[in-house]
A = this chain, B = another copy of it.
Amino acid sequence: MTICEQLSKNILFKNVGFREICTMLEEISYKKTSYSKNDVIAFEGDEVRGQYIMLSGSVRGEMTNYQGKVVKIEDIEGSSLLAPAFIFGGDRHYPVDIIANNDTECIYMGNESFTKLLQMNPELNTNFRDIVTSKTQFLSNKIKFLALQPIKGKIASYLLTRTKNNPGNSVLLPYSQDKLADLFGVTRPSLTRALRELDQDKIIEAEGKKIIILDRKKLENFIQ
């Protein structure tokens, strides 16, 4: 698959024709970069001098808390931009470590090239604005999730969100409790303990990665 084809799936190029992407790319200097699992693409605090545009793969953004514990902020799957809100504006530093979850390809272009690219097509500008907007919305929710509620609230949020458009009451955690603890910004034993307590109180049934919601009402009460 050519780069142009891959880019046409990227949300930055939504509603932009394949041909047009090719034309634009010809006038822009960029380089292609590749990463393997657990390669660090950018370090928290590094200066942002350009824009990575994902072609394929999956990356994650991680912060580190005061104890040195990793807190995963988000997974970015498929075709998006890395740290789009940090190439313009006053604070041009990566807010997170950006790490490849598996084989990942990007193109990278410097600040000026990216600015030039955005000017080539108003659609790109709108798309970029919408990407940054949704990032803000995401972070706003993240604050509520990470900072304003205790562990059981996080569990409740997580489980209820995962079963929102889902008739059933069972959830299969997509990764280990260890990783989930990172996402919640807590330690694994604490997460396990909270899960056990919710299980003992017959609010959920938790066994390894399999969780069944027994009492949705009570679970909702832990949120907020």
Contact = CB atoms under 8 A, between A and B. Distances in A.
Given A132-B129, A143-B143, A147-B147, A153 B89 contact: no
A139 B140 CA distance: 7
Interface in A58-96: 63-66, 71, 73, 85-86, 88-91, 95-96
B73 A130 contact: no
Interface in A189-224: 222-224
B66 A130 contact: no
A132 B137 CA distance: 10
Contacts of A137: 85-86, 89-91, 95
A134 B66 CA distance: 24
Contacts of A65: 147-149
Contacts of A222: 66
Interface string A124-147: 010011101111110111111011
Interface string A88-118: 1111000110000000000000000000000
Nearest to A92: B137
A50 interface: no
Contacts of A86: 133, 136-137
A148 B140 CA distance: 15
A189 to B, nearest CB: 19
A138 to B, nearest CB: 9
A193 to B, nearest CB: 18
Interface in A143-179: 143-144, 146-150, 153
19 contacts: A64-B148, A65-B148, A65-B149, A66-B149, A66-B153, A66-B223, A66-B224, A71-B148, A85-B137, A88-B129, A88-B133, A89-B130, A89-B134, A90-B137, A95-B144, A125-B125, A139-B143, A143-B143, A146-B147
